[in-house]
A and B are shown apart, each in its own frame.
Chain A
Amino acid sequence: DTGVSQDPRHKITKRGQNVTFRCDPISEHNRLYWYRQTLGQGPEFLTYFQNEAQLEKSRLLSDRFSAERPKGSFSTLEIQRTEQGDSAMYLCASSPPVSHRANTGELFFGEGSRLTVL
């Protein structure tokens, strides 16, 4: 399977614990995005990487959240001191370079990591 993969798919944790999610994008895609989706809502942008550089962060990304993409390939999203309000689906997406043929800006999403904070 050459799509975007995310791990773990489900995570249940107690309030105050730290959690980390991993995303492996499509190999030739240099752009990687994290989105958060709460129940009944559409995905909301969290952050964006081009290669290893984190170029944009949403105000939704509090200081308890940190994302990395150290080698420009996979990415991790860590949430420290989790709160019940962090319960959501965390979606990772990737996209090819702007110069890629027929690039409409379509994002290719993984199946998401569902976080439940008790």
Chain B
Amino acid sequence: AQKITQTQPGMFVQEKEAVTLDCTYDTSDQSYGLFWYKQPSSGEMIFLIYQGSYDEQNATEGRYSLNFQKARKSANLVISASQLGDSAMYFCAMRALYTGTASKLTFGTGTRLQVTL
């Protein structure tokens, strides 16, 4: 079984500042993938970034980076230079990686980020 924990229900950050959204996970799988999705008020889940459990380097995608600490089972999302458009719900998710598995993702409860002027 997999479990994702996001302990920050809400976060505030000033425009142009960096913010870290926390995510810890628990799994018995040896090989897994970690994801972050953004959900604006429109409802659509937007993929942001992916980290494989065997990737040696932390993933980066533009202003997004994933701080992966395998021993701590954490996969925090760092957003640099926050913009007003970053205000949304952010979900951490994971799935097992083995042959034949569906991409069934397990999600956390999310963190609502509010970017202020």
Using Cβ atoms and an 8 Å threshold, which residues of chain B touch A43? 45, 91, 105, 107
- Tally of contact residues, A, Cβ under 8 A: 26
Mark interface residues in B46-84 (1 if CB within 8 Å of A CB, else 0).
110010100000000000000000000000000000000
A44 at the interface (CB under 8 A from B): yes
Contacts of A40 in B (CB 8 A): 109-110
Is A74 an interface position by the 8 A CB rule? Answer: no
Q: List 19 A-B contacts (CB under 8 A).
A: A31-B102, A41-B109, A45-B106, A48-B104, A50-B102, A105-B35, A106-B35, A106-B47, A106-B50, A106-B103, A107-B45, A107-B103, A109-B44, A110-B44, A111-B42, A111-B44, A112-B43, A112-B44, A114-B43
Query: Which residues from chain B sit less than 8 Å from chain A, CB to CB?
Result: 4, 33, 35, 37, 42-47, 50, 52, 91, 93, 95, 97, 102-110
